[in-house]
Amino acid sequence: MISNSSINELRPDCENCFGLCCVALPFGASADFPVDKEKGRPCPNLQSDFRCGIHKSLRQRGFKGCTVFECFGAGQKVSQGTFGGVHWNEGTDTAKKMFDVLPIMHQLHEMLWYLKEALTFSESRLIHSDLHKLFIETEQLTNQSADFLLALNIPAHRARVNPLLLQTSEFVRTAQPAQVSKKRKKLLNHRGADLMGVNLRGADLRTADFRGAYLIAADLRDTDLRKADFIGADFRDADIRGADLTGSIFLTQVQVNAAKGDAATKLPNLVSHPSHWSKNKKNDW
C-alpha cells in the first residue's frame, strides 16, 4: 500500500523549500509573466526568507504563471532530501547542481503522482502489483544523490511507466455497464488532438481520451467529462465552469490551476478548486 506520507510528499511544501522554483526556473515576459528571468536568477519578488513578497497578489501583478505551477513536492525533496538542508546561496557549485536536479526530480515526482493515482482505481486492480513495484522503484530513485540523478535516463524510465498508465486508462474508461458503440468510441478519441478554442459546451464526453490534447481556451462549460483521460493535456484558459470531471483520470492540480472554473465545477478527489477561481468574477477571466 502507498502510505499517506508518500501522498503528502507529492504535494508542494513551500515552508520546507528554498524557493527553488523562484530561482531555478526561467520565464519570459508574456501573458503569464510581466518580466524576463533567466535560469538561476532569483525572481525579484523572492525575499531573503525564501517567501514570495507578492504571494497574495500574484495574478493582479501579472505573475499568473506562478499561480499555475506546482512542483509535485520536488522542491522540498531537493532542498531537504537531496541536499540535506543546504540552500542554493551557500555556494555556486551547490546552486548549479540544485537548479539542474530540480527538473529531474519534478519529472520523477510527476510519475509518482500518476502511479499513485493509478493505484486508487479498483478497475486497474489486475496490474496493481506492477504499479506498486514501479512506484517503489521510482521513489527509490528520488532518494539517490545529485550526481546519480543528473546521470539518470529519465526518458527510459518514463517509457517503463507509460504503458502501465495506458493500461490503467483503458481499464477505467472501458469499465461501463453499457456497451459503447464503435461510432461513439471514435468520437471520444481525442488523443493528441488540436482542440484549441473548440466549442464543446454541454457535450457528453464521458470516458473520452484527451491524452496529450491541446485544450487551450476550449469551451468546456457544463460538459460531462467523467472518467475522461487528461494525462498531458494542455488546459491553459480552458473554460470548465460547471463541467463534471468526477472520476477523470490523471488530471493534475497544475492543469486545474491553468483552467477557468467556478464553484459548480466538479473535480476528482485528488485535486482541489484553486483559490483564484473564487476571486475572479464571471467576466474577469
- What whole-number distance in Å separates Cα of residue 4 and Cα of residue 12? 14
> Can you give 148-214 as a three-state secondary structure string?
HHHCCCHHHHHHHHHHHHHHHHHHHHHCCCCCCCHHHHHHCECCCCECCCCECCCCECCCCECCCCE
Q: Domain range spanning residue 218?
A: 178-285
d(CA 136, CA 187): 37
Tens-level pLDDT at each residue, the chain (285 residues): 455 556 778 999 999 999 999 999 999 999 899 999 999 999 999 998 999 999 989 999 999 999 999 999 999 999 999 999 998 887 678 899 999 999 999 999 999 999 999 999 999 999 999 999 999 999 999 999 999 999 999 999 999 999 999 999 999 998 765 555 565 666 789 999 999 999 999 999 999 999 999 999 999 999 999 999 999 999 999 999 999 999 999 999 999 999 999 999 999 999 999 988 975 554 455
Residue 57 placed within a domain: no
Give me the CATH number covering residue 245: 2.160.20.80
Q: In this structure, is residue 113 part of a structural domain? A: yes
What is the pTM for the complete model shown?
Answer: 0.90
In a domain, 101, yes or no: yes
Q: Is the dihedral of CA 245, 247, 252, 257 positive or negative?
A: positive
Domain boundary among 173, 194, 217: 173
Of 173, 206, 239, the residue that ends a domain is 173
Same domain, 223 and 139: no
Same domain, 77 and 212: no
Of the residues 142, 173, 204, the one at which a domain ends: 173
Number of domains in the chain: 2
